[in-house]
Amino acid sequence: MAEQQSPEVVILPDPAGLAEEGARRFVAAAAGAIAARGQFNVALAGGSTPAGLYRALASPPYRDQVDWRWVFVYFGDERCVPPDHPDSNYRMARETLLDHVLLPRANVFRMAGELPPQEAADSYTRILREDFRIHGGSLPRFDLILLGMGDDGHTASLFPGMAALAERWRLVVATEVPAYVRPAVARVTLTLPFLNAAAQVMFLVAGAAKMEAVRAVLTGPAPADLLPARRVRPRNGRLVWLLDEAAAAALSRE
Ligand code: 6PG
């Protein structure tokens, strides 16, 4: 059983620096996977922070350093809204990245936010089982999973205290969100066992609002295990946290 590696924490001056570092690492991960296995399976993060990274990847030089023909794009989670809705994670990724690179449409596997949540979760589970030729209890191993984190320590759509966080068997589940979460719509999300099967997980976290959650997740005492982002520790993979200085500000505090 490979032991869990400790997180690699990289602090960048600002969101632009975080986007550049994320793009550089994305390119490196893609090149390595394509050289080794002829394809790069990546799950994109939602929310707003990753948009800067996606725009960097859609622009020179990074755009031209990826062989997009062999990139296969999945999603870590989705809001249960239509794909053209302003809150759709797929729409954000399409507008900032997917429409601007030579990525075959057939290589993009979005979660069907327009379906009833459970149907969307079941449909995505079928896609993953077919694409990764999964049988029985085996888990698909993404080359890279991008994640963000909320100021409550949630990641993907795994929120503190919600049943989805405790899921141990299913790859994908539908979940409601706590009352304080916006947008207040149901979600579809990859589960912790799936996230922790990845070859690499890279968190992208920016802004002072996140500093206390970053401190709790990266250095907090045991109760922080209740924080979803703290539970993401690839069993046999790399864990990288890209932070801007604002989000990392509480780390140096005693
Ligand atoms: C979502 C994301 C969610 C996001 C965090 C941080 O669908 O919103 O999956 O987990 O990464 O809420 O969001 P920001 O990057 O917008 O702060």
Question: Quick check: 2 pLDDT over 60?
Answer: no
Q: Which atom of ligand 1 is nearest to the CA of 89?
A: 7
Structure tokens at 188: 């579809």
Confidence label for 140 from pLDDT (cuts 50, 70 and 90)? confident
CA dist 107 and 34 (Å) reads: 14
Distance (angstroms) between ligand 1 centre and the Cα of 157 equals 8
Find the mean pLDDT for residues 166-182.
94
Distance (angstroms) between ligand 1 centre and the Cα of 182 equals 10
State if residue 52 touches ligand 1 by the CB under 6 angstroms criterion: no
Residue identified by tokens 């916006």 is 182
Q: Which of 54, 145, 154, 204 to mutate to test the pocket of ligand 1 (most atoms within 8 A of CB)?
A: 154
pLDDT score, position 39 = 96
State if residue 154 touches ligand 1 by the CB under 6 angstroms criterion: yes
pLDDT score, position 1 = 45
Find the mean pLDDT for residues 240-251.
97
Give the 3-state secondary structure of residue 239. Answer: strand
Q: Where are the beta strands (DSSP E) in the chain?
A: 8-12, 40-44, 71-75, 77-79, 144-147, 172-175, 187-190, 200-205, 238-244
- Give pLDDT tens digits for 60-108: 999 999 999 999 999 999 999 999 999 999 999 999 999 999 999 999 9
Question: Quick check: 221 pLDDT over 80?
Answer: no
Q: How many CA atoms lie within 13 A of 2 on its CB side?
A: 13
